[in-house]
Amino acid sequence: MAEPITVSLPDGSAREVPAGTTAGELAAQIGRRLAQAAVAATVDGQRVDLSVPLPSGATVAVVTDGSEAGREVLRHSTAHVMAQAVLDLFPGAKFAIGPPIEDGFYYDFELPGGATFGDEDLERIEARMREIVAEDQPFVREEHDRDQGLELFADQPYKREIIEGVDPSEGAGGGQVSAYRNTERFVDLCRGPHVPSTGRLGHFKLQKVAGAYWRGDERRPMLQRIYGTAWESKAALDAHLERLREAERRNHRRLGTELDLFSMPEELGAGLVVWHPKGAMVRKLMEDFSRTEHERAGYQYAFSPHLARSGLWETSGHLDFYAESMYPPMEMEGARYYAKPMSCPFHVLIYRSNQRSYRELPLRLFEIATVYRNERSGVLNGLLRARGFNQDDSHIFCTPDQAVEEITALVEFVLRMLRAFGFEEFEATLSTRPEEKAVGSDDDWEAATEALRVALERTALSFDVDEGGGAFYGPKIDVHLRDAIGRRWQLSTIQVDFQLPQRFGLEYVGADNARHRPIMVHRALFGSVERFFAILLEHYAGAFPTWLAPVQVRVLSVRDDHAAYATDVATRLGSEGFRVDGAGADEPLGARIRRAKLEKLPWVLVVGDDDVAAGTVGVNGRQGEVERGVSVDAFVARLAAEVTGTRI
RNA sequence: GCCGGGUUAGCUCAGCUGGUAGAGCGCUUCUCUUGUAAAGAAGAGGUCGUCGGUUCGAAUCCGACACUCGGCUCCA
């Protein structure tokens, strides 16, 4: 009998076990339920299989299936099962990589003769996967040296490339390669860990087929990627599928049609939008609010045309760096005009139209401008990624020593605005100088990056740093938010620019009577009005807060003989500045109520005999609450309080 | 741009292996006059995305294109 060894557990306790005890056996000793939930273990910080014998003195934590780490293991193992199924069903298929991802996994394949998967193949593959699960094949770890590894995957060029590239994350580091074998025929290069056997899996669903470039490189072969999702239980899988259905119910394209907000007719061309009256009302309210707040925050409006001659875009550098994303030029009277993809060059011209003194700075110019970008056809995505959209662009020109204060105020302004629209959770990314090409001196970069960092720290906004993720012209902050169902969206961006002031030779006269170069900050808050509108629409699932609702109140008369009173009430509300409409008694009241609910109106008023007699209304809120006999004055006051209360 | 889906009435969709189109909602008209999530009846509405091909015959099969959805790449 071997000497006992001692291991420590996450709760700080120590436990004595016989030498050679595996992580799985340890879990079983601790408890049945833990053993059932165990999929892997963490030993001294390393994620390992349950079958690994524990070293003496190790710190051990069991990885359970419902944890994020445990789900990663389940998903990774499920990806292997899918690979085995595909290799069984498609002889000659090559397999590349198959990692777990958020909520699921994928695996990339190359089929012989350039064949592709269709949706109907997913069912066959899934059926074969269920057989593999039923067979309860073990995952057996194997260690090979590099040459053995190359031999093992002799007819799998992608695996060989991984081994030759020595990629520790794929199980090929330090001259050793690890692989997991399920059967005599199926073995996959992998770092692990995996569940003990395929019988441990089963709550999965294959979702879609997509093309994906090998190693994410456009110049390399396009592989066939299959996405799937996998969970620890049927309940968790069902909950996930329900979340997907909820996201689909909130899809802004669906709601845009149902609520008659906007459309993108084919006749317009890809990525172009027409706003219907109700959507246009929401957009107008968003923009009005934004303009008012900008004015309060010391911005000045600017307007600029949709077109400019090529020379402007040469000076700005857009034709050098951005031409692919611009619409092709139009020729007129021997000049070439381009539709604008951004407003910055125009605002620079406004700055440059006068000699500027330091006393004028910061100069903040604001414009909601329609811009056009030739987005590649495959990236278009409803209002979220359109070719013609409206950017709430502003450009701030300031002296270098104003930068910290200005950017701090800017971050605060951005958060205040986003909160006013009902968002509560924010995160930011600070992107620093790229490795390769970058304009501006090291000192400039250092100072600007520091200004951004200080601003983030002062506003207590949590942020991570994307080293080298900045644009070549300056560092930036991106603000992300989470919506009502937890999705993360990138929205606002604050970018320092050393490039344009230099290209356009911008100057100001300082207190020292010498000429200096201003710093320029680009800032988009909504980013794109269209995109922000879409995010809002999905966030609220179409039920806009009262201050943004295109129709705030609908007045319904019980019978036609209450119509005159209903009109009086509607007129009164209209004169108080509310958006109100009505519906006569052509249909039963229940049907009209239902219609109003489906239109997601915030308030529905019902007026009948009692109300005509007493000068009251019946008030219906959006949640289904009903209150009879409310005086019109009281309702007006309530509505007014609600509308002002939900804004800044 | 690349890979895979898709496009049938205003909307959501059905239409088996080829034989010139259906439903529900919506819309119009009439009847009903209603107190809180669908009253009844009648009617109108479609060159089946576009163009070309195969076929005696195409919504259906093939090709190109447009648009669209999901990915990849891109997003100075």
ipTM of this predicted structure: 0.94
In whole angstroms, give the CA distance from residue A427 to residue A278.
Answer: 32
In whole angstroms, give the CA distance from residue A552 to residue A635.
Answer: 12
> Is strand B within 7 Å of residue A255 (CB)?
no
Question: What stretches of A395-484 show up as alpha helix (H) in DSSP?
Answer: 403-420, 442-458
Q: How far is the CA of A219 from the C1' of B2 (A)?
A: 10
Tell me which residues from 601 to 640 on chain A have a beta carbon below 7 angstroms from nucleic acid strand B. 604, 606-612, 618, 620, 624, 626, 628
On the question of pLDDT at A2 being above 70, the answer is no
The pLDDT value recorded for residue A173 is: 56
Is-catalytic flag, A393?
yes
pLDDT (tens digit, 9 = 90+) per residue, A26-52? Answer: 999 898 899 999 999 999 988 999 999
Q: How far is the CA of A225 from the C1' of B46 (A)?
A: 38
pLDDT (tens digit, 9 = 90+) per residue, A155-203? Answer: 999 999 988 875 556 555 567 889 999 999 999 999 889 999 999 999 9
On the question of pLDDT at A288 being above 90, the answer is yes
| pLDDT above 70: percentage of residues in chain A | 98
Is-catalytic flag, A147?
no
The pLDDT value recorded for residue A174 is: 63
How confident is the model over A230-249, as a mean pLDDT? Answer: 91
In whole angstroms, give the CA distance from residue A519 to residue A498.
Answer: 7
* Nearest nucleotide, CA A260 to C1': B11
pTM of the model: 0.92
The pLDDT value recorded for residue A648 is: 52
Q: How far is the CA of A217 from the C1' of B74 (A)?
A: 11
Question: Average pLDDT, whole number, for chain A?
Answer: 91
pLDDT greater at residue A635 or residue A210: A635
> Is strand B within 7 Å of residue A245 (CB)?
no
Task: Report residue A471's pLDDT band, with 50, 70 and 90 as the boundaries.
Answer: confident
> Is strand B within 7 Å of residue A114 (CB)?
no
Taking CA A464 as the corner, what is the angle to CA A459 and CA A467, rounded to the nearest 5 degrees? Answer: 125
Q: Hey, what are A145's tokens?
A: 């040296």
On the question of pLDDT at A119 being above 80, the answer is no
The pLDDT value recorded for residue A283 is: 96
A385 burial type by CB count under 10 A (0-12 exposed, 13-18 middle, 19+ buried): middle
Q: Which of A560, A542, A576 is nearest to A608 (CA)?
A: A560
How confident is the model over A498-523, as a mean pLDDT? Answer: 94
* Nearest nucleotide, CA A493 to C1': B75
Is-catalytic flag, A137?
no
**Lowest-confidence region among A51-65, A285-299, A337-351, A569-583:** A51-65
Task: Report residue A12's pLDDT band, with 50, 70 and 90 as the boundaries.
Answer: confident
The pLDDT value recorded for residue A295 is: 95
Q: How far is the CA of A241 from the C1' of B6 (A)?
A: 21
The residue lying closest to nucleotide B10, measuring its CA against C1', is: A257
Is-catalytic flag, A344?
yes
A412 burial type by CB count under 10 A (0-12 exposed, 13-18 middle, 19+ buried): middle
pLDDT (tens digit, 9 = 90+) per residue, A65-116? Answer: 989 999 999 999 999 999 999 999 998 999 999 999 989 999 999 988 888 8
Q: How far is the CA of A282 from the C1' of B70 (A)?
A: 29
The pLDDT value recorded for residue A315 is: 93
> Is strand B within 7 Å of residue A358 (CB)?
no
Residue A521 near residue A618 (C-beta atoms within 8 A): no
Task: Provide the positions of strand B that have an atom within 7 A of a protein CB.
Answer: 1-6, 11-12, 31-39, 66-76
Residue A48 near residue A7 (C-beta atoms within 8 A): no
On the question of pLDDT at A437 being above 80, the answer is no
On the question of pLDDT at A645 being above 80, the answer is no
How confident is the model over A401-414, as a mean pLDDT? Answer: 93
Is-catalytic flag, A340?
no
SS3 A181: strand
On the question of pLDDT at A304 being above 70, the answer is yes
> Is strand B within 7 Å of residue A493 (CB)?
no
Q: How far is the CA of A487 from the C1' of B23 (A)?
A: 37
Q: How far is the CA of A423 from the C1' of B25 (A)?
A: 34
Tell me which H or E stretch contains A224: strand A222-231
On the question of pLDDT at A388 being above 90, the answer is yes
In whole angstroms, give the CA distance from residue A343 to residue A355.
Answer: 21
The pLDDT value recorded for residue A327 is: 92
Give the total residue count for chain A.
648
On the question of pLDDT at A293 being above 70, the answer is yes
The pLDDT value recorded for residue A646 is: 61
